[in-house]
Amino acid sequence: YNDSIWSEWPESLSKREEYALKTIRELERDRIEYYVFVQYIFDQQWKDLRKYANSSKIKIIGDIPMYVDYDSADVWSNSYMFQLDHNDTMKPIFVAGFPSDQGSNKGQNWNMPIYDWNNDNVRKDLFDWWIKRLRRKLSTVDFLRIDHFRGLISHYVIPVDIITQEPNTTEAYWVKTPGHEFLTAITESLGSHIPIIVEDLGDLKPEVFELRDHFHLCGVRILQMGFYSDSTNIYAPHNYIPNSVAYTGRAHDNPTILQWWTEEASDKEKHQFIDYIRRPVEGDKELINGLELEKHLDKHICWYFIQILFQSAANGAIIQMQDLLNSLTRMNIPGTGNLYRHKL
CA triplet 251, 343, 301: central angle to 5 degrees?
A: 45
User: What SS3 state is found at 173?
Assistant: strand
Number of Cα atoms under 13 Å in the Cβ half of residue 170: 1
Residues paired with 95 in a beta bridge:
113, 158
Number of Cα atoms under 13 Å in the Cβ half of residue 280: 17
Please give the positions annotated as active site.
Answer: 147, 199, 253
Beta strands per DSSP E along the chain: 61-64, 94-98, 108-113, 143-146, 154-159, 173-176, 196-198, 219-222, 244-247, 316-318
Please answer whether residues 149 and 214 qualify as being in contact, where contact means their C-beta atoms are separated by less than 8 angstroms: no
**C-beta pairs of 227-230 under 8 Å, 24+ apart in sequence:** 227/265, 227/269, 227/270, 227/272, 227/273, 227/276, 228/266, 228/268, 228/269, 228/272
**Burial classification of residue 13, based on how many CB atoms lie within 10 Å of its CB (0-12 exposed, 13-18 middle, 19 or more buried):** middle
CA–CA separation, 30 and 8 (whole Å): 23
- Packing angle, helices 206-214 and 179-190, rounded to 10: 20
Cα dist. 87→92, 116, 120, 168, 217 in Å?
12, 15, 19, 21, 39
Please answer whether residues 221 and 201 qualify as being in contact, where contact means their C-beta atoms are separated by less than 8 angstroms: no
Please answer whether residues 160 and 167 qualify as being in contact, where contact means their C-beta atoms are separated by less than 8 angstroms: yes
Closest CA to 199 of 179, 214, 220, 213: 220
Closest CA to 246 of 266, 262, 231, 226: 226
